[in-house]
Amino acid sequence: MINMIKGKKILISLGGTYEPIDSVRGITNKSSGKMGLALAKEAYIRGADLTLVVANVSVEIPSVFDVIRVETSSEMNEAILRLVPDFDIFISAAAVSDFEFRKKSDKKIDSSSSLFLNLKPTTKIIRQIKDINPEIFLVGFKAEFNISKDEIIECARKQIADAGTDLVIANDISKENCQFGSDDNEVLIVDDEVLTVPLASKREIAKSNAIFPCH
Amino acid sequence: MIVLCVTGSIAATESIKLARELRRNGVEVKCFMSDSACEIIHPNAMEFATGQDVVTKLTGKIEHVKYSQEDLILVAPATANTISKFAHKIADNPISTLLITAQGHDTPIIFVPSMHDSMYRAIKENIDKIKDEGSASFIKPRMDEGKAKFPSKEDIVLESLRTINLNK
């Protein structure tokens, strides 16, 4: 498998985006970037030509990596759409906000009265990838909460149908040791088939040959 | 197997943990130490870290030949002296002798320079010469407090494993 990704151009997005409410507050999620970083290290070791788009992470990114820092989902969107035409593989491991604010305050909002936030859905980055580069090998993630294995597989297959994803790494983040930010995970790797990877460190999951495409 | 060459910089103290980290990644490590490295850390520390005898001098076992065709020669830390000798293909100690033997066999070599930044500037020509001839690569130091400091062990491990795979 090592030779499969040697010299291939791989783009990986990781971490959680942050949508500002005002100049000091915002909404984000608990994504740590650990899974994306584990995949990045494995790809780098195997000789891939690697670029990372990094949102908020709780891990240190090795200085040898080529990194583009972003904060919001729209910045993430812009960076990825710009880069996607030049890459062979895109692994979308970032947790991108599904909502952004209709109007962001550039001041600090006064806290003495109640506050209603008006959110609108963000653009789904993953659905645009294959339109821009139909040749790219697209790996998506699907985090669901407390649903059955069959339902998770159905969600993953829906992403494959909607976004043209070639491979989906799906998991149930309600399970113990599988939450956002955990060191370990238990995942299903879904394409035409379903491969169950039992609870293992994110690093071991990244080393699993099922993740890196064999074309 | 990675041949880890430790030369006489205070960052030799980092080589003990570096050897452990490489082994944690499933790599066998053989260590060569220069005389000045032995004045900073004792060879026993590297023997413990690698689980193997440390080469501090060349004997009838022709260690410079025996270990010249391994997966990678990693010089960490690499002093101005060691880099400059390699640039001019001088072989007057076990490590400099191993390095030119390895180069003759096209074995990948990585230097991790660690020295005061004035020394780093002074040997720039030698580093450029090595880069131009493509005989070795460099992991760039972390510039801090006017010193070319030792990069993180993780960066060194990533670059080492990548270099081995790229040369397979």
Q: Which residues of B touch A44 (CB under 8 A)?
A: 158, 162
Residues 6 or more apart whose CB falls under 8 angstroms from that of A65 comprise: A40, A44, A50, A52
Is the predicted pLDDT of residue A213 greater than 70, yes or no? no
At A39, list the tokens: 């995949």
Taking the Cβ of residue A45 and every Cβ of chain B, the question of whether any pair is shorter than 8 Å is answered with yes
CA dihedral sign, ordered B13, B17, B22, B27: positive
What are the pLDDT digits (tens) for B46-67?
999 999 999 999 999 999 999 9
pLDDT, tens digit (0-9, with 9 covering 90-100), for B78-115: 999 999 999 999 999 999 999 999 999 999 999 999 98
Residue A1 clears pLDDT 60, i.e. is over it = no
Among candidate residues B100, B88, B144, the one with its CA nearest the CA of residue B120:
B144
pLDDT digits (tens, 9 = 90+) for A108-166: 888 888 888 889 998 889 999 999 999 999 999 998 888 888 999 999 999 999 999 99
pLDDT mean over A55-64 = 94
B165/A46 Cβ within 8 A: yes
Encode B16-53 in three state secondary structure.
HHHHHHHHHCCCCEEEEECHHHHCCCCHHHHHHHHCCC
Residues B110-156: tens digit of each pLDDT: 999 998 889 999 999 999 999 999 999 999 887 777 766 789 999 99
A4 pLDDT band (50/70/90 cuts)?
confident
Mean pLDDT of B32-36: 98
pLDDT higher than threshold 90 for residue A105: no
Q: Report pTM.
A: 0.90
Q: What is the mean pLDDT of residues B1-5?
A: 98
User: What average pLDDT does the segment A41-63 reach?
Assistant: 95
Token duo for residue A181: 């930010």
| A64–B159 CB contact, under 8 Å | yes
Question: CB-based contact (8 Å) between A44 and chain B?
Answer: yes
Average predicted confidence (pLDDT) for chain B: 95
Q: What is the pLDDT of residue A214?
A: 47
Q: Which of B112, B159, B164, B165 to mutate to test the interface with A (most CBs of A within 10 A)?
A: B165
Give the model's pLDDT for residue A70: 97
DSSP letters, B95-143, are: HHHHHHHHHHTT--EEEEE-EEHHHHHHTHHHHHHHHHHTS-EEPPPEE
- What's the pLDDT at A29? 92
Say what the pLDDT of residue B76 is.
97
Backbone φ and ψ of A179, nearest 5°: -70, 170
pLDDT of residue A2: 34
Mean pLDDT of chain A: 89
- Closest by alpha carbon to A40, among A16, A20, A60, A17? A60
A8 touches chain B (CB under 8 A): no
> Is the pLDDT at A215 greater than 60, yes or no?
no
Confirm whether A29 is a catalytic residue.
Answer: yes
- The pLDDT value recorded for residue A169 is 92
Question: If pLDDT is split at 50, 70 and 90, which confidence band does A14 have?
Answer: very high
